[in-house]
């Protein structure tokens, strides 16, 4: 028998009000609540909660509370991962994040979607499409990444972007919808954040 959970992870239409999925979300909410209530000095305890929550972690990572997710077990983070305040991950499908990824405050990763037509939407059917973020990516504050998006390695996503389509490696991309602004080149090594123009 194909369960709603298997359908969800496989990218098929599923019913989120399924008993197993409801219990899974409650467990994730409990762990997120525990993580968000720990004192700032309790770094080891916070890391352990994330290890218990996520599907995969590496040795070095840090997430600033508050943090929220749907299930947790569909999230994989690479080595040297950092997320600032208010990261939200709707991980109904897998969310795979590479090494050396930096995420600014108020970023949302949404794998979940709903039918466009209201009659189907009102039945409670949902779907989810994975999100993949490559190595060395920096995602600016208040960015939304939509279902099915892949962001290539070394890329920078500017603040306030809404990423609706794949973004290739080695570019700066920004906007709503997010578009490629330019390629990152060796010249970027000469500047800390931008070229200073002195008049």
- The residues annotated as belonging to the active site are 114
E strand or H helix at 102: strand 102-103
Q: Is 74 in contact with 56 (CB distance < 8 Å)?
A: no
The rounded Cα 51 to chain-centroid distance in angstroms is 16
Interior/surface letters 148-176, b for 16+ CB within 10 angstroms, e for the rest:
bbbbbbbbbbbeebebbeebebebbbbee
């Amino acid at each position: 028998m194909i369960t709603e959970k298997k359908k969800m992870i496989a990218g098929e239409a599923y019913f989120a009000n399924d008993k197993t999925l409801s219990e899974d979300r409650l467990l994730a909410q409990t762990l997120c609540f525990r993580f968000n209530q720990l004192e700032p000095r309790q770094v080891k305890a916070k890391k352990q909660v994330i290890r218990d929550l996520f599907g995969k972690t590496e040795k070095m990572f840090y997430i600033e509370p508050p943090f929220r997710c749907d299930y947790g077990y569909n999230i994989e983070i690479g080595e040297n991962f950092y997320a600032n305040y208010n990261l939200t991950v709707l991980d109904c499908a897998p969310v795979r994040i590479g090494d050396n990824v930096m995420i600014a405050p108020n970023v949302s990763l949404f794998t979940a979607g709903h039918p466009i037509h209201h009659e189907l939407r009102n039945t409670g059917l949902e779907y989810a499409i994975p999100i993949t973020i490559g190595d060395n990516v920096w995602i600016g504050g208040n960015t939304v990444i939509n279902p099915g998006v892949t962001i290539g390695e070394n890329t920078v996503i500017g603040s306030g972007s809404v990423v609706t389509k794949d973004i290739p490696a080695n570019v700066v991309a920004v906007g709503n919808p997010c578009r490629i602004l330019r390629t990152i080149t060796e010249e970027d090594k000469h500047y800390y954040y931008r070229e200073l123009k002195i008049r």
